[in-house]
Structure 1
């Protein structure tokens, strides 16, 4: 009997020594955060956004083969996200001891952490002759437009909920919009395949429709992702109101689940698209 795949391709744990090293670091950071828990609000989620970008960019560099073999396993999927989360947590613990605006410092260090792999990916694309900008940056622009429109509509329909979730809700919608638009660009314009089976099923459904020769198959994935993101934001609004710290933390995870894959797609498409368009 055939099994149904539910995990994306490329999902694999690293060798045991690398896994134990990351687990030990993550455990130490968790202990520190439990002893001295930080305030999790919308500004904190926004400050963690560069770290979300960093993690996904590090994974893109792993797919591009840019790491020495000794350290490459800790940047594969899914371990790279634990690696990045541990680094972000350790940074958060450290910057809270300096100055009155630790979230600004957290975001700044995260921005540097993201800039390094992005620069490496760009350099690889330049030297390999596979650097491309139009379609990937078009996906970013489309995500911004869709986020603005979706949020404005959501604010009219559920004004109390959008006020409750604030900037964390906006980031969640943008993250999933970027994942959707970059996926649509990848499968319809650049010839990439979707790694996640559930997403593939949605795209294939759209490709079976009479509209496929005109608009491709990615549009339905965009619609589904935006609807789901808006629905989750509305559902979490009550949690944010009742338990602000816990609700906002969950909303931050929702944002990361969208923003991470979206940024990964954009960085990979920019650096490795053989069409150069």
Structure 2
């Protein structure tokens, strides 16, 4: 009879994986390259400002951000800044996953749920920026890609404080440890949320003729949800609890301002009032992806529960086992719980569900916004797909733009990525990389 122990004995005959505390050659190279690029840019700004700033970063990156934040509306992406953002995102994923791994930060489903809340915070802010809620002195902080760097600063600060408290008290069991954690973290999180409201939201009230009833309700729900989220996740690591609680609270504060915009619309910088609020797009943009994710969850939840009982994580090899040795012993590991249960279990994981939901939302939102409300696409590659779809619409005599093709491409792409994802196995030291890749996909999608 094949047992997990017998499989482990076979795998132990192979060369073990690198320890999690060691950086691979790729990680070392990218870390040095990223540091070299940052140092080179800083030196260039000091020694050759005309070349680096006036003729380089300013027209490629900063001026589109200024235009996006101004009354003229969204600025399109160029191939140059798209390439810069893509390289920066990929390099950051590799570098930060190595840092998080060496710090032994969690990379489980709970952390993914916490990070999803932070991803949701970005579009909440961005909608308010598009509605010209924020004053011109700070609205550039809510423009992509600055908004992601801005929110990353908040995330790191909240995570740092939570991690410090967790290091001291997570190992203390029982009510004593929990009481000390709550007494130290919850007031800090509430003060941080109040500080965020004061520097980001409060200046906007003087800019607009608007009511405040929904703002106040949103603030109340925000602080209440922060406290509730922290208390409801007692069994979670402190850093994960802190990140989730703050992001949930901030989301509700932002949604309160959404409700205020719907109740008492304010004049935009262009001199126009916002269009009437319509809710039917939400049924498509959120409803269809939600139904698909519900089906995926039902397909995978039983295997996910069984795998959890075995003590293994879906798609993640046991500690010290390499991908090469796992594939070499393909027939032996076929009886391992990871191999038998991971494919369906991953369908019910926050990693896959968040990726599917986010990308489908992006596809359907683009389709509805362009084909039915007359918006335009900013990204050159996406716009090329939409223009091609528009040509098909013209040839077929359809009275719509071409964003329907973009939605189809997105659906096919996310289906392909999901298939690859559930079939893929990662080493234990690559868990953080997998998590940050999904996070990057979510950031790009939303």
Q: TM-score under structure 1 normalisation?
A: 0.70
Q: How far, CA to CA, are the matches of 1:11 and 1:118 in structure 2?
A: 27
Aligned partner (choices 373, 384, 392) of residue 201 of structure 1: 384
Aligned to 2:137: 70
Mapped pair 1:244 → 2:244: no
Per-residue displacement from partner, 1:111-146 (whole Å, max 9, x unpaired)? 111222232233224322635232331221122234
Distance 1:237 1:142, change over 3 A: closer
**TM-score, normalized by length of structure 2?**
0.46
Give deviations 1:35-57, integer Å, cap 9, x for gaps.
74411122211211111111122
CA distance in 2, matches of 1:227, 1:151: 19
- Note if 1:227 corresponds to 2:412: yes
Asked if structure 1 preserves the Cα contact closer than 8 Å seen for 2:289 and 2:360, the reply is yes
- Give the 3 Å change call, closer, same or farther, for CA 111–207 of structure 1 in structure 2: same
Mean Cα deviation higher: 106-115 or 235-244: 235-244
Structure number with greater Rg is: 2
Contact 1:33 1:93 in 2 (8 A): no
* Whole-angstrom distance in 1 between the partners of 2:249 and 2:276: 22
Q: Alpha-carbon deviation of 1:84? A: 0.8
Deviations 1:139-196 (A, max 9, x none): 21122234446788999xx984453472201110110000011111101222212222
Bigger relative CO (Cα 8 Å, ≥ 6 apart): 1
Q: Residues 1-277 of structure 1 correspond to what in structure 2 (within 5 A)?
A: 11-12=64-65, 36-96=103-163, 97=166, 98=181, 100-101=235-236, 102=238, 103-128=240-265, 130-138=275-283, 139-148=285-294, 160-164=342-346, 166-209=349-392, 210-211=395-396, 213=398, 217-237=402-422, 241-242=426-427, 243-258=430-445, 260=446
Aligned length: 236
Judge conservation of contact 1:203–1:221 (CA < 8 Å) in 2: yes
Paired with 2:133 and 2:110, the residues of 1 have a C-alpha distance of 33
Question: 173-182 vs 229-238, which deviates more?
Answer: 229-238
| Secondary structure of 1:193's aligned partner | coil
Residues of 2 paired with 1:177 and 1:213: CA distance? 23
Distance 1:154 1:188 in 2: 35
Greater Cα offset, 34-43 or 195-204: 34-43
CA distance in 2, matches of 1:212, 1:145: 31
TM-align CA RMSD: 3.6
Q: Which runs of 5+ in 1 are unaligned?
A: 1-6, 15-25, 261-277
Closer/same/farther in 2, CA of residues 172 and 235 from structure 1, 3 Å limit: same
